[in-house]
Structure 1
């Protein structure tokens, strides 16, 4: 009995020591397991994010171009009131924050949309005037293309010349692009003005003012071809420009 007690007294501390050691081992192993699990989870999460980015890039290509295309669609169907960075995110299937990586706010978005509009306008005018003979025919073709573009893209035309972008100097590339259509008219009149000694600057202002003013009246539905007996839009534009025919010939 005495011997058993002595053995128990001698062994118990060892058992406690072993149990304590095993407990520390279990805690250590649990910590290692958690770290391994966390690493695996993070690796899987990272891989998923990379895969998503690859798929996203594949589907959208250039996100900025996709956003602008969506903006033009929304503008055509819902008008400027329906256009926002949030609506672009929904339309393109990206996060709400994604559009902000390309446009800081709605004004910057509108500037980009307007710039796209001016690029398309200038291209339409240049294509329409191809093959024209003489300043008058060229100006007529340029003006008709200008008016047709505006009528076919009323919401876009409204942004291009709207009050939202009145301070166009805030957007240098927009200001430069906006001048392309004016430059086409100026170039069409330059040779004629040089031959006659007229001031091309004032002649260009006169033609552009007539062209833009007439187009704005048509777009805002304050004037129509039928109101003054014109058969169609082109006829209205050409007959109105006819007032300046002596200066354009």
Structure 2
């Protein structure tokens, strides 16, 4: 893969795209600034104009993943009229995002990126909070409308997140292959079940 046609101002985006494609092809362990530069068709020193090291590059890509997830969940909630329908739509959208963007999804929750304090991104952290807030706010709407059990909203939101994230991870990791012939259909059944458990 070579990339010779990009404007200087688009170098950062070119490097992020090359990194994402490298993760999709060979996994996160294959990422290095030198290999990304080669994949992007730029000089070995070019990535350092935007990223001081590998961790900074991966965190920037993770931030972009959280922004995309936040947009996906926001759109799913906006398309549903009732809060209870919105809750189920968000859970389905989360699993669908993971399936459509496995490289992003696997990267976004890497513990070593959370521990890398030197390159924490305020924009990425904000996007992660926006993504969770879509779920938490919808739970709050359900409770306010007496459509959900009157329990701690944060506990309920985290419980729902845990269930849907666990399913998305199991599917991506191939752990459902011998348990269902229709993981997409099962995902919708799971989302309906989990969302239904919150109904008062």
Indicate the TM-score class for this superposition, using the shorter chain for normalisation.
0.7 to 0.9
Structure 1 length normalisation: TM-score? 0.67
Structure 2 length normalisation: TM-score? 0.82
CA distance in 2, matches of 1:213, 1:111: 22
Q: Residue 85 of structure 2: which of 133, 137, 140 is its match?
A: 137
Rg comparison, structure with higher value = 1
2:50 paired with 1:106? no
Measured after TM superposition, the shift of residue 168 of structure 1 is 6.0
Measured after TM superposition, the shift of residue 129 of structure 1 is 2.9
- Residues 33-52 of structure 1 mapped to structure 2, 5 A cutoff: none
Higher deviation after alignment, 148-157 or 56-65: 56-65
Partner in structure 2 of residue 208 of structure 1: 161
Partner in structure 1 of residue 97 of structure 2: 149
- Residues 4-23 of structure 1 mapped to structure 2, 5 A cutoff: none
Deviation track 1:182-237 (CA, whole Å, cap 9, x = no partner) reads 1110111112223444321111111111111111111111125x7257x441x323
Relative distance call for 1:243 and 1:82 in structure 2 (3 A) is closer
Deviation track 1:21-70 (CA, whole Å, cap 9, x = no partner) reads xxxxxxxxxxxxxxxxxxxxxxxxxxxxxxxxxxx996343221221122
Partner in structure 1 of residue 44 of structure 2: 96
2:144 paired with 1:191? no
CA distance in 1, matches of 2:156, 2:116: 24
Q: Which ranges of structure 1 fall in alignment gaps of 5 or more residues?
A: 1-55
| 2:37/2:47 contact within 8 Å kept | yes
2:174 paired with 1:221? yes
| 1:189/1:248 contact within 8 Å kept | no
2:115 paired with 1:167? yes
CA RMSD of aligned residues (A): 2.5
Counting matched residue pairs gives 191
Deviation track 1:116-145 (CA, whole Å, cap 9, x = no partner) reads 111111222222333212222212211111
Q: Residue 28 of structure 2: which of 69, 76, 80 is its match?
A: 80
Partner in structure 2 of residue 27 of structure 1: none
